Amino acid sequence: MEYYSKKIINRFMHPKNLGKIKDASGIGDTTNLRCGDLMKIYLKVEKRGDEEIIKDAKFETFGCGHAIAISDMMCDLVKGKTFTEALKVGYEDIAEEIGPIPPVKVHCAKLAQAALKAAIEDYKEKTKL
């Protein structure tokens, strides 16, 4: 297995979703205690009937190349999804898009999932769902 697929390198060098969302509906902050990397996910949420739809997602990461590529892809994958659908986006879905993630880097994907979950919880807390 290649350590960095071409797609991972491309995402790492040219992330599309890097940055903050002004007036974010929810912000999730996580740290990986193993490697010390930090990740923050910002969500813009729109209520449609009884459901919340993620309209936009951005990230800031102080971490490895995989963490940056993965969080960028994660933001793309959750846009347009409900919270339930977004929380099902896993390491396999991300790998399908950006190429194989070495086992030693799977925790980078888990960090993105944890940041997303925290951002959704932050939204729920703010809106008391």
Q: Hey, which residues are catalytic here?
A: 35, 108
38 binds ligand FES (CB under 6 A): no
Give min distance, CB of 121 to ligand FES, in A. Answer: 20
Identify whether the C-beta of residue 77 lies closer than 8 Å to the C-beta of residue 43: no
Buried b or exposed e, range 30-51, using 16+ CB within 10 angstroms: bebeeeebbbbbbbbbeeeeee
Helix, strand or coil for residue 39?
strand
Among 89, 98, 108, 118, binds ligand FES (CB under 6 A): 108
Give min distance, CB of 109 to ligand FES, in A. Answer: 9
67 binds ligand FES (CB under 6 A): yes
- Could you give the angle at the alpha carbon of 74 between the alpha carbons of 13 and 25, nearest 5°? 110
CB closer to ligand FES, 37 vs 52: 37
Residues in the chain: 129
List of residues contacting ligand FES (CB under 6 A):
32, 35, 37, 63-64, 66-67, 105, 108, 111
